[in-house]
């Protein structure tokens, strides 16, 4: 018999059954067709015994002794696996073909965006993604802290959240872009907190940390060059000060970086993760691997941009230039041995369809097991977080599209969905 004491969660798609922890059996015996965990083969016929929010035993039925009062949940044809994670998300955004990013930031009130984020958090949980890192509220100030609290206090349903609050960007570099507004327009909402110079950067980090941010996010580059070209936005000195301040507070740093130079500056400054990295070169990915900087490729975001702005049609059109560039970067990162997690930039596309990122990771060069590992054990490693469990219909180790068909969700001992 195998025993462990990890906290756990699970995934789902079917009838919704919300069972408060106090009302359900003290022990649950889960009986799927298969059990999978990173670094392990697929185990046929295994069962999982839980008590509260702990896994008590895993193994063949003959090796697991369940209490007499344990409630059994049969999951025929399903594979039980660690709860999926998406560690580049934006719960305060929704797809740009519904409402443009500018209009979301400028016209949607923060209370409305917060209520919508709660619904989007629930959709994410019910799709089997039990942990998110939310990388910026995009103009909704510190509302992610309230969203996280509401989930933790069981006021609403949602995944476990790690939040970055406002994110930090160089003055004049982010949006709504000043060049698109009248010069005399004052005090328009901004999608991130602006800072210039080392003292302002340090102050912004300390402010966000003091408010309760779990991560500090910085934009190492953005579309502020001539004619909106991507250019580095912070100096090497500013980035070093930002990372040193964040690390001194015990917080890791995520860097938005799409240019080679922006990535290089961020890596040399000591950030913990690079987000997007679409123009990364083999050299900069080797630098990331050498320094232990993780990579979140956000491949689905490029597909979504193609749909919204370049007439791309899923399953019919040839990949756009941006999608091909993202694939080249992803392939180069794989070859360089970079630690690659699952981060999709969901919010750019529909919440609850995070599984699309795993499918793209497989299309662009990973095996299904590598993609599943990225969305479970690797993301947990990047977050410095313990492992979780979930269940999907079919065998995702052979067919990654199985992650789109979740049949059971359990988080911290609470069943949210079951067949």
Q: Name residue, tokens 């199985």.
A: 402
Q: β-strands 129-134, 160-163: how paired?
A: parallel
Query: 151 — phi, psi (to 5°)?
Result: -70, -45
Q: Average per-residue pLDDT in the chain?
A: 91
- Cβ count near 316 (within 10 Å): 6
Cα–Cα dist 216/307, whole Å = 30
pLDDT at 11: 35
Find tokens 């995070």 and name the residue.
Answer: 354
Beta 16-19 vs 43-44: how paired, if at all?
Answer: unpaired
Q: What would the DSSP string read from start to end of 270-285? A: T-SEEEE-TT--HHHH
- Cβ distance 269 to 239 under 8 Å? yes
Tokens of 271: 């950030």
d(CA 394, CA 268) in angstroms, rounded, equals 43
The residue-averaged pLDDT of 257-266 equals 98
Using alpha carbons, select from 229, 91, 208, 211 the residue that is nearest to residue 161: 91
Nearest residue to 277 (alpha-carbon basis) of 321, 233, 329: 329
Under the banding of pLDDT at 50, 70 and 90, the label for residue 370 is very high
pLDDT band at 386 (very low <50, low <70, confident <90, very high): low
Longest Cα–Cα distance of the chain, Å, equals: 75
Measure CA 305 to chain center.
Answer: 18
In order of 18, 262, 264, 277, 342, the CA distances from 284 in angstroms are: 46, 10, 6, 10, 20
Model confidence at 20: pLDDT above 90 = no
Tokens representing 114 are 């917060």
Which tokens go with 201? 């950067």
Chain mean position to CA 31: 29
Per residue in 31-56, pLDDT (tens digit) is 999 999 998 999 999 999 998 888 88
Residue pointed to by tokens 């949607």 = 108
Query: pLDDT tens, 119-141?
Result: 999 999 999 999 999 999 999 99
Q: Is 227 helix (H, G, I), strand (E, B) or coil?
A: helix
Per-residue pLDDT of 132-184, as tens digits, reads: 999 999 999 999 999 999 999 999 999 999 999 999 999 999 999 888 788 88
The residue that leads in pLDDT, 84 or 412, is: 84
For residues 336-361, average pLDDT: 98
Of the candidates 112, 294, 135, the residue with the CA atom closest to the CA atom of residue 213 = 135
Rounded CA-CA distance 10/8 in Å is 7
Please tell me whether residue 163 adopts helix, strand or coil conformation: strand
Which pLDDT score, from 0 to 100, does residue 180 have?
78
Q: Is pLDDT above 90 for 14?
A: no
Cα distance between residue 178 and residue 254, in whole Å = 25
What is the mean pLDDT of the segment spanning 201-213?
98
Q: Which two tokens stand for residue 203?
A: 């102050």
- Helix 282-291 to helix 321-336 angle (10° resolution) is 40
List of residues 6+ apart from 406 with CB closer than 8 A? 11, 12, 13, 14, 126, 127, 128, 390, 391, 392, 393, 417
More confident of the two residues 152 and 25: 152
What is the tens place of the pLDDT at every residue in 63-79? 999 999 999 999 999 99
Whether residue 278 is predicted with pLDDT greater than 60 in this model: the reply is: yes
Give the pLDDT confidence of 283-302 residue by residue, as tens digits. Answer: 999 999 999 999 999 999 99
Residues 6+ apart with CB under 8 A from 307: 97, 313, 314
Query: 223 — alpha (psi -120 to 50), left (phi > 0) or beta?
Result: beta
Whether residue 318 has a cis bond before it, omega within 30° of 0: no
pLDDT of residue 181: 80
- Is the pLDDT assigned to residue 187 strictly greater than 90? no
């Amino acid at each position: 018999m195998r025993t462990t004491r990890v906290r756990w969660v699970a995934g789902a798609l079917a009838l919704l059954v919300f069972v408060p922890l106090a009302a359900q059996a003290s022990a649950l015996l889960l009986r799927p067709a298969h059990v999978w965990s990173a670094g392990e083969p697929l185990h046929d016929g295994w069962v999982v015994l839980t008590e509260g929010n702990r896994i008590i035993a895993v193994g063949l039925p003959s090796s697991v002794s369940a209490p007499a009062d344990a409630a059994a949940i049969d999951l025929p044809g399903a594979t039980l696996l660690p709860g999926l994670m998406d560690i580049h998300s934006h719960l305060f955004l929704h797809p740009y073909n519904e409402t443009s990013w500018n209009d979301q930031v400028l016209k949607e009130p923060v209370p409305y965006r917060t209520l919508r984020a709660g619904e989007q958090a629930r959709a994410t949980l019910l799709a089997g993604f039990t942990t998110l890192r939310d990388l910026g509220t995009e103009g909704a100030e510190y509302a992610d802290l309230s969203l996280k609290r509401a989930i933790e206090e069981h006021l609403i349903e949602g995944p476990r959240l790690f939040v970055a609050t406002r994110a930090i960007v160089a003055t004049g570099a982010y949006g709504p872009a000043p060049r698109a507004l009248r010069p005399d327009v004052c005090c328009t909402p901004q999608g991130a907190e602006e800072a210039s110079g080392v003292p302002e950067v340090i102050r912004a980090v300390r402010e966000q940390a003091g408010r309760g941010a779990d991560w500090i996010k910085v934009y190492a580059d953005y579309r502020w060059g001539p004619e909106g070209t991507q250019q580095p936005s912070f100096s090497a000195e500013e980035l070093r000060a930002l990372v040193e301040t964040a690390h001194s507070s015990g917080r890791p740093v995520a860097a938005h970086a799409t240019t080679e130079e922006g990535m290089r500056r961020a890596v040399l400054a000591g950030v913990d993760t690079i987000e997007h990295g679409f123009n990364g070169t083999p050299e900069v990915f080797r630098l990331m691997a050498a320094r232990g900087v993780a990579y979140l490729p956000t491949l689905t975001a490029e597909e979504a941009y193609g749909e919204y702005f370049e007439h791309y049609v899923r399953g019919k059109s040839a990949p756009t230039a941006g999608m091909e560039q993202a694939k080249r970067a992803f392939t180069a990162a794989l070859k360089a041995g970079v630690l690659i997690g699952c981060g999709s930039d969901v919010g750019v596309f529909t919440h609850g369809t995070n599984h699309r990122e795993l499918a793209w990771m497989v299309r662009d060069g990973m095996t299904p097991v590598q993609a599943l590992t990225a969305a479970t054990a690797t993301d947990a490693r990047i977050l410095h977080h313990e492992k979780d469990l979930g269940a999907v219909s079919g065998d995702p180790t052979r067919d990654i599209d199985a992650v789109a068909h979740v049949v059971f969700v359990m988080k911290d001992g609470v069943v949210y969905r079951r067949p």
